[in-house]
Amino acid sequence: MKKRLTALALGALMAAGPAMADLVFPSLSYRTGPYAANGIPFADGYADYFTLLNERDGGIGGEPVKMIECETGYNTEKGVECYEATKGEGALVYQPLSTGITYQLIPKATADGIPVHSMGYGRTSAKNGSVFRNIFNYPANYWDGASVAITHILNAEGGDLSGKKVALVYHNSAYGKEPIRTLEELAKKHGYELTLLPVDHPGQEQKSQWLQIRREKPDYVIMWGWGVMNQVAIQEAVNIRFPMDHFIGIWWSGSENDVLPAGEKANGYKALTFHNFGSNYPIYADLKKYVYDAGKAAGAGDQSGTVLYNRGLYAAMLAAEAAKTAQDIHGTKAITSQMMRDGMEALEMTEEKMSALGLPAFGPEFKVSCENHGGNGFGAVSQWDAAAGEFKMITDYFQSDQDVLNPLISEDSSAYASENNIEPGCN
Amino acid sequence: MFYREAGDFKTSYQQDNQTFPIRFDRYRYYVVLAVAFGVVPFLINDYWANAILVPFLIYAIAAIGLNILTGYCGQVSLGTGGFMAVGAYACYKLMTAFPELSMFIHVILAGGVTALVGVLFGLPSLRIKGFYLAVATLAAQFFLVWLFNRVPWFYNYSASGQISAPERDVFGILVTGPNAPSWAVYLFCLIFVTFAGVLARNLTRGTMGRRWMAIRDMDIAAEIIGVNPLTAKLSAFAASSFFVGISGALFFSVYLGAVEVGEAFGIQKSFLVLFMVIIGGLGSIFGAFAGAAFLVVLPVALKLVGVDMLGWATDIVAHFQLVIVGALIVVFLILEPHGLAQLWRVAKEKLRLWPFPY
């Protein structure tokens, strides 16, 4: 039996020897499993943006982009396999779209010198770039999300939350547990009462959690859900006639797929976001001309303009802009993952840049630095309009409570640094 | 031609009872060991270690463990994922509490802790059998996962509820953490697999194994000929959980490095290991290896063929994987209910007579 090992090892030798000609952007996507409904639009947007760059501009700075897609099914073991399979190809940056896989990759990618961009997910304290040199989570992170949600509730309640009850319905995993620390800190500051309601993977069974909500009647429900859990939660909220405008989801719980199954009754559901919606942007004309009409759209090509498709575009755009920055810094077109890291650390997104790319006012402005890998923590609240069938922004971008978050981030990142013998520093 | 027994005389009982009585088989076994220990570590790279060999070795230990319980002693268990979680969390607590000890000690102690927990959950097997026991072990699965999610002491009060393996070494060579060289990780797992294989083989062909098999074949008859069901069943649970615990500890500390209990050790894991045992062959140590190799390597091979060679979309290949693996399981169960091990046995019989079959 173990003969087979020898054969495998010999095969490995032959398979080794990576070709490093193009700029390689792996896409660890999931188009199958309980999270596919959310994974597909993101993966399509990510792929279509790079296709557009290749077709329209011949890549980034004239260097063609090679996007390697690898199916993870939101499963960490497959994520590791995908990481190992693609890193030899000269991968520049990983965006796994899974907090579990991000936790997995943080030490591995750091050891291999490859940056990870966990945009709005992953480990929040990675914002402290002096500890997490290779990990980025701009433009916003989970603790920003939690704080933005509380600030929104605060504004709706006229600035006073004392005696109010807030329930957190969360995916019982590292992802869902992320905001608890912040919500507890904020509860101390604002005096609301926090109830924690975990939902186990994959999240199809939530009857008892919503029964508890019906019994305890919290004033607001905040949700940290993903995949099929979102749809079920919104349906359950409709079933117990919970007021939808008091139900706020994180940005991962605010896509069309999540609200459509509940129909008209989901009208008024709120979700956070760190980028804009819709297809009313100049870039969509280019996408239509170079990608859709040329028959090069990724997947089934039916996700264009949805919330998560736009987020995929945004993620790819930030990666491409970081690659451009890296090319400028190092004066070479064929950048390596180390140079890509420098590019990400020097990335600055301004209104002019976004307008020039055909995405005017698409996301908040921010500037990355070694001390701040996480942007400025601006988020906005959107609301589902069931009649129009789209999420509408109901607030401007506003900043999270940095006074509460910054101490938490430095505490958590220094704990990580001492656990892993990392000397924090920017050089 | 191969496997010829002519001239291969046994002159003592010891020789007659050895694991590989045929000379060719014995030499093949030594060659495989020599290659696995002496050649592969020099050729291995990160991809082959982390994507194929290390998971294969770890699942092989889990399959050996479940095979002892289900294949040899006939007690169906759906709690493998939960017991792997016990091994992983025990290893984590030991690693963080006694950082100066060698990883070998941590992993073996984690196996010991799992053996105790296994005995505890094995107690109902004295009263309930078959499907009902499967349900009782299923309860163990859900209870253990719930416990590790619920009680923060197990994950050292970390904010994410995940456990992550700190860097630990064996004789100064790192075997856990991102900076561990792939050859060290591979060899570390290989040592445990070899140890588990030899131990399991010798347990199952000795007095202990005969008692287990007697219980499996007919428990009342076994009791009448003097087998104590209490000790037989509980020792099977203990031995099985010991191996499963070791595999869980390695799965967490060496292979993944960070796990979330619900995702890594859920009910799917229990089924996966059960499928390995069934496809490989119930009641066969070789079958545990064959089943683990089949279910670890096949999805990767299908992915390589589908995505990298044929250039199909990743989701189509992922769906095909499910269809093909599912279909193969059904085909195997119909054509060869005794699994890959039986296929190997039949092939060996044919080879002994080849080229003059009668």
Domains and CATH numbers, chain B: 39-353 (1.10.3470)
Q: Output the six-digit token pair for A248.
A: 């706020």
3-state secondary structure of B2: coil
Looking up tokens 């008209």 gives A264
For residues A205 and B262, is the Cβ–Cβ distance under 8 A? no
CATH class held by domain A20-140+279-375 = alpha beta
Instruction: In whole angstroms, give the CA distance from residue B160 to residue B163.
Output: 8
How near does any CA of chain B get to the CA of A158, in Å?
A: 31
pLDDT surpassing 60 at residue A15: no
Instruction: Please tell me the pTM assigned to this model.
Output: 0.90
Contact between B65 and B193 (Cβ < 8 Å): no
A311's tokens: 């987020």
- 3-state SS of A277-318 is CCCCCHHHHHHHHHHHCCCCCCCCCCCCCCHHHHHHHHHHHH
Answer whether B325 touches A (CB < 8 Å).
no
Asked if the Cβ–Cβ distance from B178 to A412 is below 8 Å, we say no
Tell which residue, A20, A12, A19, has the closest CA to residue A337: A20
Per-residue tokens: B340:
């890959």
Overall average pLDDT of the A4-16 stretch: 44
| Structure tokens that stand for B228 in this block | 């104590």
Contact indicator for B277, B63 with CB cutoff of 8 Å: yes
pLDDT digits (tens, 9 = 90+) for A406-427: 999 999 899 889 888 888 888 7
Contacts of B220 (CB under 8 A, 6+ apart): none
- Give how far the C-alpha of residue B56 lies from the chain's centroid of Cα atoms, to the nearest Å: 9
Q: Which residue of A has its CA nearest to B35?
A: A6
Using the beta-carbon criterion (under 8 Å), do A107 and B178 form an inter-chain contact?
yes
Under an 8 A CB cutoff, do B293 and A1 touch?
Answer: yes
Number of Cα atoms under 13 Å in the Cβ half of residue B278: 17
Contact between B32 and A73 using a beta-carbon 8 Å cutoff: no
Structure-model confidence comparison of residues A263 and B244, the more confident one: B244
d(CA B243, CA B193): 10
Residue-level length of chain B = 358
Residues in chain A with CB shorter than 8 Å from the CB of B149 are 172, 198
**Contacts of residue A173 in chain B, CB cutoff 8 Å?**
161, 260, 262-263
Tens digit of pLDDT for each residue in A192-239? 999 999 998 888 899 999 999 999 999 999 999 998 999 999 999 999
Task: Sort residue A259 into left (φ over 0), alpha (ψ -120 to 50) or beta.
Answer: alpha
Q: What pLDDT does residue A10 have?
A: 42
Query: In A, which residues are within 8 Å of B290 by CB distance?
Result: 1
Sign of CA dihedral B264, B265, B266, B271: positive
Total Cβ atoms within 10 A of residue A161: 22
d(CA B25, CA A209): 59
Q: Do B263 and A100 touch (CB under 8 A)?
A: yes
Distance from the Cα of A9 to chain B's closest Cα (Å) equals 6
- CA A21, CA A19: separation in Å to the nearest integer? 6
Q: Residue A54's pLDDT is what?
A: 94
Q: What is the DSSP letter of B295?
A: H
Measure the CA–CA gap between B291 and B280, rounded to whole angstroms: 4
Please indicate whether, in this complex, the C-beta atoms of B35 and A3 are within 8 angstroms of each other.
Answer: yes
Which chain A residue has the Cα nearest residue B186?
A5
B41 touches chain A (CB under 8 A): no
The Cα B272–Cα B288 span in angstroms is 12
CB contact B323 to A (< 8 Å): no
User: A178 vs chain B: nearest CA distance in angstroms?
Assistant: 6
B47 in contact with A at a CB cutoff of 8 Å? Answer: yes
Looking at CA atoms only, how far is residue A90 from chain B in angstroms?
14
Interatomic CA distance for residues B342 and B139, integer angstroms = 32
Interface of B with A in 124-163 (CB under 8 A): 149, 159-162
CB atoms within 10 A of CB A171: 28
Smallest CA–CA distance from A173 into chain B, residue: B260
Q: Calculate helix-pair angle for A180-190, A402-419, nearest 10 degrees.
A: 140
Location of each CATH 3.40.50.2300 domain in chain A: 20-140+279-375, 142-273+380-406
A contact test, residue of B30, B160, B295 with most A CBs within 10 A: B160
- Cβ of B12 under 8 Å from any chain A Cβ? no
Taking an 8 Å cut-off on Cβ atoms, the answer to whether A100 and B167 are in contact is no
pLDDT at B178: 86
Q: Which amino acid is at B112?
A: G
| pLDDT in single tens digits along all 358 residues of chain B | 577 777 778 888 888 888 888 888 888 899 999 999 999 999 998 889 988 999 999 999 999 999 999 999 999 999 999 999 999 999 999 999 998 899 999 999 999 999 999 999 999 888 888 889 999 999 999 999 999 988 989 998 887 888 888 888 898 889 988 889 999 999 999 999 999 999 999 999 999 999 999 999 998 999 999 999 999 999 999 999 999 999 999 999 999 988 888 888 999 999 999 999 999 999 899 999 999 999 999 888 888 888 888 888 888 888 988 898 889 888 888 888 888 999 888 888 888 887 777 6
Query: What residues of chain B lie within 8 A of the CB of A107, using their CB?
Result: 164, 177-178, 257-258
φ and ψ of A194, to 5 deg: -105, 130
B139-192 pLDDT, tens digit per residue, is: 999 999 999 988 989 998 887 888 888 888 898 889 988 889 999 999 999 999
Minimum CA–CA partner of B39 in chain A = A6
Instruction: Test A69 with B263 for CB contact under 8 angstroms.
Output: no
Interface of B with A in 329-348 (CB under 8 A): none
Minimum distance, in Å, between the CA of residue B260 and any CA atom of chain A: 7
Tokens of A106: 């943080």
pLDDT at B125: 87
Check pLDDT > 90 for residue A116: yes
What torsion, rounded to 10 degrees, do the Cα atoms A114, A118, A124, A129 define?
Answer: 40
A296, HSE (Cβ side, Cα atoms, 13 Å)? 17
Report angle CA A136, A142, A148 to the nearest 5 degrees: 125
Interface touch A32/B319, C-beta < 8 Å: yes
- Judged by CB atoms closer than 8 Å, whether chains meet at A172 and B149 is answered as yes
CA distance A228 to chain B (A): 16
3-state class (DSSP) for residue B125: helix
Cα–Cα dist A26/A4, whole Å: 30
Task: Give every CB contact of residue A204 below 8 A, 6+ residues apart in sequence.
Answer: A34, A228, A229, A232
Which residues of B are less than 8 Å from A9 in CB distance? 39-40, 43-44, 48
pLDDT digits (tens, 9 = 90+) for B82-111: 999 999 999 999 999 998 899 999 999 999
Size of interface A-B (CB pairs under 8 A): 139
Residues 6+ apart with CB under 8 A from B134: B76, B77, B78
- Asked if B318 is an interface residue toward chain A (Cβ–Cβ < 8 A), one would say yes
**From CA A351, how far away is CA A360, in angstroms rounded?**
7
* Three-class secondary structure assignment of chain A: CCHHHHHHHHHHHHHCCCCCCCEEEEEEECCCCCCHHHHHHHHHHHHHHHHHHHHHHCCECCECEEEEEEECCCCHHHHHHHHHHHHCCCECCECCCCHHHHHHHHHHHHHHCCCEECCCCCCHHHHCCCCCCCEECCCCCHHHHHHHHHHHHHHHCCCCCCCCEEEEEEECCHHHHCCHHHHHHHHHHHCCEEEEEEECCCCCCCHHHHHHHHHHCCCEEEEECCCHHHHHHHHHHHHCCCCHHHEEECHHHCCHHHHHHHHHHHCCCEEEECCCCCCCCHHHHHHHHHHHCCCCCCCCCCCCCCHHHHHHHHHHHHHHHHHHHHHHHHCCCCCCHHHHHHHHHCCEECHHHHHHCCCCCCCCCEECCCCCCCCCCEEEEEEEECCCCEEEECCCCEECCHHHHHHHHHHHHHHHHHHCCCCCCCC
Rg of chain A on CA atoms, in Å: 21
Judge whether B150 and B211 are in contact, CB under 8 Å: no
| Closest residue of chain B to A16, computed from CA coordinates | B45
Kindly list the residues from chain A whose CB atom is less than 8 angstroms away from the CB atom of residue B319: 32
Distance from CA of A287 to the nearest CA of B (A): 21
| DSSP string for B183-204 | HHHHHHHHHHHHHHHHHHHHHH
Place of tokens 């990160």: B46
Distance in angstroms (rounded) separating the CA atoms of residues B19 and B205: 9
Q: Do A29 and B264 touch (CB under 8 A)?
A: no
Contact indicator for B334, B279 with CB cutoff of 8 Å: no
**Binary contact (A1, B32; C-beta < 8 A):** yes
The architecture (CATH level 2) of A142-273+380-406 comes to 3-Layer(aba) Sandwich (3.40)
| Cβ atoms of residues A92 and A25 within 8 Å | yes
Give the pLDDT of residue B159. Answer: 77
pLDDT above 70: residue A13 = no
Q: Do B109 and B90 touch, CB atoms closer than 8 A?
A: yes
Contacts of B210 (CB under 8 A, 6+ apart): none
CB–CB of A186/A401 below 8 Å?
Answer: yes
Contact A151, A173 (CB under 8 A): no
Comparing CB atoms, the residue among A1, A15, A419 nearest residue B289 is A1
Summarised one tens digit per residue, pLDDT across range A380-400 is 999 999 999 999 999 999 999
Q: What are the pLDDT digits (tens) for A322-343?
A: 999 999 999 999 999 999 999 9
User: Counting beta carbons within 10 angstroms of the beta carbon of residue B358, is it exposed (0 to 12), middle (13 to 18) or buried (19 or more)?
Assistant: exposed
Distance between B227 CA and the closest CA of chain A, angstroms: 34
- Whether the pLDDT of residue A315 is over 80: the answer is yes
Whether chain A has a CB inside 8 Å of the CB on B11: the answer is no
